[in-house]
């Protein structure tokens, strides 16, 4: 929550509009209701993990750029996410 809120504040300070989601399910719900230019996504999320959110978001919006980030990545998780198609893993 601290990282999510800090990142939102930093982006808004730079002049970007940012919307956050507290869970993977909430992120998917927001994707069905609002257009976005970019999604920043953490692998570790409550309920639905970021890899599943990535998979579902690519089905809904295949051209939406995604930046996948985490402090908990394994090589296997990174490979799985890359196969789905995020733009960046960090």
Nearest to 39 by CA among 14, 65, 19, 8: 65
Query: What is the tens place of the pLDDT at every residue in 6-36?
Result: 999 999 999 999 999 999 999 999 999 999 9
φ and ψ at residue 38, rounded to 5 degrees: -160, 145
Q: How far is CA 12 from CA 9, 15, 29, 43, 89, in A?
A: 5, 5, 22, 23, 22
Query: What is the tens place of the pLDDT at every residue in 42-79?
Result: 888 888 888 899 999 999 998 899 888 877 666 677 66
State pTM to two decimals. 0.76
Distance CA 43, CA 3 (A): 13
């Amino acid at each position: 929550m601290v990282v999510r809120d800090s990142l939102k504040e930093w982006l808004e300070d730079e002049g970007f509009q940012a919307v956050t989601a507290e869970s993977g399910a909430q992120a998917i719900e927001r994707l069905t209701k609002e257009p976005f230019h970019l999604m920043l996504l953490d692998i570790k999320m409550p309920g639905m993990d970021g890899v599943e959110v990535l998979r579902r978001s690519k089905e809904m919006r295949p051209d939406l750029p995604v930046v996948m980030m985490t402090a908990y990545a394994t090589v296997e998780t990174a490979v799985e996410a890359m196969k789905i198609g995020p733009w960046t893993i960090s």
